[in-house]
Amino acid sequence: MGIVDLFLQASSSVSLLGALALLLFVYFISSVSFSSKKDRKCPPGPKPLPILGNLLQFDLKRPYNTLMKLSKTYGSVFTVYLGPKKVVVLAGYKTVKEALIDHAEEFGERDPIMLVQNANHEHGVLWSNGESWKEMRRFALTNLRDFGMGKKACENKIIEECSYLMEELKKWKGEPFDTTHPINYAVSNIICSMVYGNRFEYDDPEFTSLVDRTNTLIQISGSPSVLVYDLFPWIGPLVNNKKLFQSLFAANKKQNLQLFAAAKEMLNPQMCRSFVDSFLARQQILEKSGTNVHFHDENLMSTVMNLFNAGTDTTATTLRWGLLLMAKYPLIQDQVQEELRRVIGSRQVQVEDRKSLPFTDAVIHETQRLANIVPMALPHKTSQDVTLQGFFIEKGTTVYPLLTSVLYDETEWEKPLNFYPAHFLDKDGKFVKREAFLPFSAGRRICLGEGLAKMELFIFFSTLLQHFRFRPPPGVSEDHLDLTPRVGLTLNPSAHKLCAVSCL
């Protein structure tokens, strides 16, 4: 559905007079916002149209590609108008680092999209701001660590889940299968064990429906119609994805309420088994003392759903990209498996093996870089007036740190558009860190599950490559494996199947 079509359909659903008044109002606001004060140097950008801004210049399915092209013309700090909404875009490693790290406080707020704002009411850890966000993020970090994040206990959970995942892959006996469900379920079980206190079977309909709905919600959140709805909320009745989002979100919320109710019945504040238990125990204590401000049911719901969504989608998506890239580049898969055979043999891979597997580690990092699964990060917002690289950006401005431009920065990467693990290896084949490797973003809003994700990616990827050879389906050559990402808030691989052939 195009922009013009959306406006034509919307105008038929309201009175002509009301539509005219609304358009005149939006035009007035747009005209004011488009004008800049002469005494301040604002970031440059393409000239916007009234009401529509620069939308007609955008590929709404892949807006990050449009922003990359615009950065070539307007530089590393520039302005675009998405409808009447002013957005400052940050491009390139040095610029993104300067903003998110050197000016972390000024660029540290979140600008939630309309659908999410309506669903979460700015609660939780992902889309919230202010004291509530600080309290929930601090509590989440502390308790996820208490329940194993970054520790041996978590490593053991991942290793155990690997065994369940491998049994699932063996059922296909080398025949083509869609990697989506088994990978998503395996990765989701790790965050489930921390948040809910237990893992689930891959054929448990309550579990699988929760995971599948979550993946659909994330895909919908990045759709063109949701982007346009975010800019022009009055077209809401015409946006089918809005209705679908609300329906799926309500179903996930209902399922979580049932899990919370069960947790309350079994709660022993002296022996908390999960994040939910810890939250409920803290809630009881603060309510008795009359000092409870942030530990309410809405924050529990939003925080748990944030953790579940982020803890499932991003790691599972990266792992699926890794397996697809191995099938597409069999010579690189050869090198990974040779290193695993030489260093590990048939024993179980452990986190401490990472330093002895530099090529495997480089392949995982290069997968994260090239997959670029959150190309525009999540939207930021300035907390105060700030000057960046000589440009004035006023308080409350939406900011897109263009992570694509960091991970594909031509001044930082030798072959930015190619799958090239040597980006992370020195001349002696030893692993090297790269400053421009920012797949988890940076600053105050850096992914709070970064340590967990790194552990999961290393153990899952290495263990799967140790036991299976991943190939395209019969009759499909490596060249025909499509690396075009699917449209969504995160960039998943397009629909595909692989063969997992046992090699141990």
Indicate the annotated binding residues for heme.
447
Q: Exposure of 174 by Cβ count < 10 A (0-12 exposed, 13-18 middle, 19+ buried)?
A: middle
Q: Which segments are annotated as binding site?
A: 447
Provide the H-helix boundaries in 398-501. Answer: 403-407, 450-467
Tokens 């939910």, residue?
A: 276
The DSSP 8-state label assigned to residue 80 in this structure reads E
Residue type, 325: L
Q: What are phi and psi of 436, to 5 degrees?
A: -85, 10
d(CA 366, CA 239): 37
| Two structure tokens written together for 137 | 């993020």
For the range 127-130, what are the long-range contacts, defined as Cβ-Cβ under 8 Å and sequence gap of 24 or more?
127/306, 127/378, 128/302, 129/381
- Strand order across the 109-110 sheet: 77-82, 85-90, 398-401, 380-381, 109-110
Q: How far is CA 229 from CA 19, 30, 67, 220, 286, in A?
A: 16, 17, 20, 12, 39
Q: What are the phi and psi torsion angles at 468 (to 5°)? A: -135, 150
How far, CA to CA in Å, does 10 sit from each of 5, 30, 58, 238?
8, 19, 21, 7
Decide if 307 contacts 275 (C-beta within 8 A). Answer: yes
CB 208 within 8 A of CB 168: no
The separation between the first and the last C-alpha atoms of the chain, rounded to the nearest angstrom, is 50
Give residue 303's Cα distance to chain centre: 15
Q: Give the whole-angstrom CA distance, residue 256 versus residue 300.
A: 10
Backbone angles phi, psi at 498, to 5 degrees: -130, 165
Q: Residues 140, 448: contact at Cβ < 8 Å?
A: yes
Structure token pair of residue 334: 């050869």
